[in-house]
């Protein structure tokens, strides 16, 4: 059995490692998260929303959603286009009203 497909448990016995299962360190983290999920379930909806906001705000945008060079270039192009002709777009209020009218 290849070394990459097995790991040693704390008893040093060899166990086949399923690709679907995390390694032991990842498994310990998952167990810790499951324990915490019981505490999360006791939070009110409002408390969960506040927690999600705090978690979101704690993320580094570059690491959480890295942009490819192509997407970075496209966003820069769109920003330059909008800056060059700010009156070319549709005001949010008009767009919102148009979209709401389509839903009726």
Dump pLDDT digits (tens) for 47-94: 888 888 888 888 888 787 888 999 999 999 999 999 999 889 889 999
Q: What is the DSSP letter of 22?
A: P
* Helix (H) or strand (E) run with residue 4 in it: none
Of residues 55 and 34, more confidently modeled: 55
The full length of the chain comes to 104
- What does the mean pLDDT of the chain come to? 78
Please give the model's pTM, rounded to 2 decimal places. Answer: 0.38
What's the first-to-final CA gap in the chain, in angstroms? 63
Q: What is the DSSP letter of 85?
A: -
Residue with the two structure tokens 């777009």? 89
**% of the chain residues with pLDDT over 70:** 77
Confidence of residue 20 (pLDDT cuts 50, 70, 90): low
Give the separation between CA 86 and CA 79, rounded to whole angstroms: 10
């Amino acid at each position: 059995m290849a070394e990459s497909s097995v790991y040693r448990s704390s008893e040093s016995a060899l166990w086949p490692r399923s690709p679907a299962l995390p390694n032991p360190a990842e498994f310990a983290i998952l167990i810790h998260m499951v324990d915490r999920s019981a505490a999360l379930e006791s939070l009110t909806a409002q408390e969960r929303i506040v927690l999600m906001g705090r978690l979101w705000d704690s993320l580094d945008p570059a690491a959480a959603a890295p942009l490819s060079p192509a997407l970075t270039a496209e966003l820069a192009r769109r920003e330059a286009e909008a800056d060059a002709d700010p009156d070319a777009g549709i005001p949010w209020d008009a767009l919102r009203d148009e979209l709401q009218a389509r839903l009726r």
